[in-house]
Amino acid sequence: MSGTLPIPWNATVSRRRDVNERVKVLWITPDSGRVQPFDPGQFVQLGWPKPEDPAGPPPTRVRWNKRSYSIASSPGESGGYELCLALVDQGVLTPRLFDLQAGERVWCDDAPKGHFTLERIPDARHLVCVATGTGIAPFVSMLRRYRGTGRFRKLTILWGARESSDLAYHEELTAAAAADPSVRYGAVVSREPAGSAWTGGRGRVQSALADAAFRSTAGEPLAPDGTHVLLCGNPAMIDDVRVLLEARGFALDTVKEPGNLHFERYW
């Protein structure tokens, strides 16, 4: 942290939830006290001051390390932006953020940004959302905001993580699927200890897209007609699933060519 310049903090950690040693959920409240309007799927950046160079000239402004975090809260929630963070041991930012307690200060974007939203997807489609790790956040926001509104015909969420303890929203998603037949949910873990109490899928989340596995979760086949697939998370997962789905007739959505396959790399 800078020792010679005042730090222009503009937000406060209003709440935190420790999921495990690798995953935390933070609620960030701007100094205005108001969450700015956003669409589910957008993100905010958090920032922490870069260390000053003791051998360099005195700094004239604070320089920031910034990273983008997708918002898990619904636009209708007022308790701050809810962000799900995964620890990057050698990262320049998350180790700092993991130490923050409620009431401590941080820098946050003035307004959310991003285009990974449902803006280009028509109403009443089957939305298949595939996430790894904290890439689940935009889909939690979409579920909270659009469930029961008719925005989708069905919402199928497939989530891959290392261990079941990393699934920060597992109880919420399981309860939503149990209460609402238009919501389907399946989780797959890749490094769950043998003999644990976990009864869900094991392996990579790609396995949940296999014909039988997908039909078991979603209650229908994975076909491009009337279906849009959204991918968020590990770039390797996105590349693998894109190849798999394009072979089944899905087409990448671009500015020039509308399609039914959408992704955001989030790692």
Angle at CA 154, nearest 5°, toward 152 and 157?
110
What's residue 1's pLDDT? 45
What's residue 119's pLDDT? 96
- 129, containing H or E segment: strand 125-132
Tens digits of residue pLDDT in 95-147: 999 999 999 999 999 999 999 999 999 999 999 999 999 999 999 999 999 99
**Least confident window among 4-13, 137-146, 147-156:** 4-13
Residues 133 and 169: their CA atoms lie apart, in Å, by 11
Residues 169 and 167: their CA atoms lie apart, in Å, by 6
Is 50 exceeded by the pLDDT of residue 2?
no
| Amino acid occupying residue 96 | R
pLDDT above 90 covers a percentage of the chain that reads 88
Q: Which of 17, 15, 13, 14 is nearest to 169 (CA)?
A: 17
Domains recognised in the chain with CATH numbers = 11-108 (2.40.30.10), 125-265 (3.40.50.80)
pTM: 0.95
Is 90 exceeded by the pLDDT of residue 80?
yes
Is 70 exceeded by the pLDDT of residue 56?
yes
Q: Which of 112, 91, 201 is nearest to 99 (CA)?
A: 91
What's residue 265's pLDDT? 85
Tens digits of residue pLDDT in 174-200: 999 999 999 999 999 999 999 999 999
For the chain, how big is the Rg over CA atoms in Å?
20
Is 50 exceeded by the pLDDT of residue 164?
yes
Angle at CA 264, nearest 5°, toward 262 and 267?
150
